[in-house]
A = this chain, B = another copy of it.
Amino acid sequence: MGKGERAVRIGELSRRTGVSVPTIKFYVREGLLPAGRLTSPNQASYEEAHVRRLRLIRALLDVGGLSVAAIREVIAAIDDPERPVHKMLGEAAARLVPRYERASGGAARAENPAEGSAAVARERVEEIIAARGWRTYRGNPAGEALVAALQALEEVGHGRFAEVLDVYAEAAEKVARADLEYVARNVAREDLVESVVVGTVLGDAVFESLRRLAHVDASDRLFGREEAPGEATGPVAPDAG
């Protein structure tokens, strides 16, 4: 109670979150943030929940790269109290698949040189799911996004990238398991959905960053020293394994 439990006006809410007053009002208008409790026709008070919510919004926006519209839907799922946990998680998750909007229609309807790449990709996805024994459902947007990504790889001439998919799937499974265990260990039931959202979105950012860091290291070991002396002559092994 000592901390910040007192109600504040919009000015201090702004100061405590680093979000400008007009922007806070904008979020309220957009339905991302509940309005303050009116204490008089032109005064409203905001509580700790508003601070948390604002931080959530900024995290999803800045770090997670979600759009305001996506955040609105995610938040609607978070706030709806009458929804079985499992369904909530599913619906929240469905909003967290970016990069997909235009991707599915994209080059697919072009005169297709690597024709049937959609079908091939879809098949590969089903293989992986089966191999891993994952339970999922048809039409899962994550699956569609994966199909789109594999298809894009194919069209860009990296169809063989599918070779390493098993490594990816194995890694993804381990990470997902760790995510869920973390949630089970640390999160109260009423915060479940919010935590899953946060973990999903920010977890992506975390993993991407780590992968970049690991790339630098791996690339350094593989290609780094080969051009130290004079020129690049070293063992790039462009073909053999």
Report the separation of the CA atoms of residues A219 and B87 in the bound assembly, to the nearest whole angstrom.
11
Contact A207 B172 (CB under 8 A): yes
Q: How many interface residues does A have (CB within 8 Å)?
A: 128
Question: By the criterion CB–CB under 8 Å, are A213 and B146 in contact?
Answer: yes
Interface residues of A in 205-241 (CB under 8 A from B): 205-224, 226-227, 231-232, 235-241
Instruction: Say which one of A33-41, A71-79, A99-107 lies at the interface with B.
Output: A99-107
Taking the complex as formed, is A86 at the interface, i.e. its CB lies under 8 A from any CB of chain B? yes
Provide the A52-69 mask, 1 if CB < 8 A to any CB of B, else 0. Answer: 100110110011110000
A10-42 interface code vs B (CB 8 A; 1 in, 0 out): 000001111100000000000000000000000
Contact A213 B63 (CB under 8 A): no
Give the CA-CA distance A94 to B55 in the complex, in Å. 27
Query: Closest Cβ of chain B: how far from A146's Cβ, in Å?
Result: 4
The answer to whether the Cβ of A47 comes within 8 Å of any Cβ in the partner chain is: no
Name the B residues within 8 Å of A232 (CB-CB). Answer: 84-87
